[in-house]
Amino acid sequence: MKLRSLWCALIALMLGAGPVLAWDAEGHEVVGAVADQLLGTNANQQVAKILGFKLAEAATWADCVRSVHRHKDGTFEYVHDQHFGVPCVGFETADEKDRMEDYVSRNWSNCLYEDKPTNCHKAFHFTDVAIQHDDYQRNFVGTNDHDVVSAINAAIAVLKGGSAPAPFSIKDQKEALFLLAHFVGDIHQPLHVGAVYLDADGHRVNPDVGTFDPTTETAGGNSIHEAHGSLHTDWDDVPSSLRHGGLADLVATARTQPTTSGPVEGWSAKWASDTILKAHEAFTGVTFGRVTVIAGGKRKWEALFADETDYDDREADLKHAQLAKGGARLAQLLNTIFP
């Protein structure tokens, strides 16, 4: 408990100190922290009762389970990974490690991830809709029944007292809340939803027109590289605008977000459609060159920026807006499920 409390204090410190932080850990915590402040009375009580964690802490869980490994004898074991670090320490009690291992064992070979029938739970974090589209539709290349849109709906079903549809295995409301706190953050990161598909010369192609060549997909920008690593990693970074009272600014922005209309079961598809439009912005001013062929015939491309300073400024503004929107929508969803 002391380590978990220390991590909460570190988050507040880091948001004030201004280093560049990774969305795959601190950024998810930011989304959860914003939502924590926007929960209604009953929703706050239900989250506390079901989870035993604040959303800010719970939001990292779906990445912490990546540290669960399958041994050759078929057993699963959680092993602390420095890549995920302090955010996972609060889940390293015997009971919580058992929960992570059990979850991964049930969501290991029930769908495909990177065209392999293992690590299915890693496929729940994203969808890859070509940015030639303006919305999310389930028949598009890059979508499937275990993408982030479907994963959010599966968690909602369990929180509302039902069961998760195949291929998901979500055993209880606590597990559903862990997943929801993370996936609502994921669906607001533009490169977790919108994708570019490129031919061998780095020209954009629409995989939904003509014959689809799987080697044109860029894995959410993970196969596109720039000075700081992959373009995806660059977009996972929390903006430096979160310095000095940044969380308070995010909460204020989040309070201005309108509630999504219609039944909650349709919200994730609407959010994905909105994020695809933001992905248009994420790829504005970017061209691609210097292709390298890697294993399996897949390719890596180099990102080229028309005006890198302008791009960085627009990127920071969009990240700030998306983090606030993610926190607002997570709270709105839980306030609707637990009015």
Q: Give the per-residue pLDDT at 116.
A: 92
The answer to whether the CB of 283 falls within 8 A of the CB of 196 is yes
Q: Which residues of 224-261 are buried (b: 16+ CB within 10 A; e: fewer)?
A: bbbeeebbbbbbbbbbebbeeebbeebbebbeebeebe
Q: Give the per-residue pLDDT at 243.
A: 53
> How many CB atoms neighbour CB 204 within 10 A?
15
Residues 6+ away with beta carbon under 8 Å from 223: 217, 230, 298, 299, 300, 301
Give the C-alpha distances (Å, rounded to integers) separating 169 from 148, 163, 164, 193, 204.
14, 9, 6, 23, 36
Q: Residue for token digits 């533009």?
A: 190
Element (H, E) at 290: strand 286-293
N-to-C CA span, the chain: 30
Q: Give the per-residue pLDDT at 81.
A: 85
Structure tokens, 158? 């369990």
Q: Residue for token digits 């993610």?
A: 326
> How many CB atoms neighbour CB 209 within 10 A?
10
> How many CB atoms neighbour CB 132 within 10 A?
17
Q: Which of 319, 280, 279 is nearest to 20 (CA)?
A: 319
Q: Give the per-residue pLDDT at 85.
A: 65
Round to whole Å and give the CA distance between 82 and 269. 34
pLDDT in tens, the chain (339 residues): 333 443 444 444 444 433 333 346 788 999 999 999 999 999 999 999 999 999 999 999 999 999 999 999 999 999 998 776 678 999 999 999 999 999 999 999 999 998 899 999 999 999 999 999 999 999 999 999 999 999 999 999 999 999 999 999 999 999 999 999 999 999 999 999 999 999 888 999 999 998 888 888 999 999 999 887 899 999 998 877 665 557 889 999 999 999 999 999 999 999 999 999 999 999 999 999 877 877 666 788 999 999 999 999 999 999 999 999 999 999 999 999 999
Q: Residue for token digits 């915590």?
A: 29
Residues 6+ away with beta carbon under 8 Å from 258: none
Give the C-alpha distances (Å, rounded to integers) separating 155 from 21, 162, 196, 223.
27, 9, 28, 30
Q: Give the per-residue pLDDT at 296.
A: 67
Kind of pairing, strands 286-293 and 204-205?
Answer: unpaired
Round to whole Å and give the CA distance between 198 and 309. 24
The answer to whether the CB of 78 falls within 8 A of the CB of 102 is no
The answer to whether the CB of 240 falls within 8 A of the CB of 323 is no
| AA letter at 276 | I
Q: Which of 329, 11, 52 is nearest to 184 (CA)?
A: 329
pTM over 0.85: yes
* Superfamily of 2-107+128-337 according to CATH: P1 Nuclease (1.10.575.10)
220 forms bridges with which residues in the sheet?
none
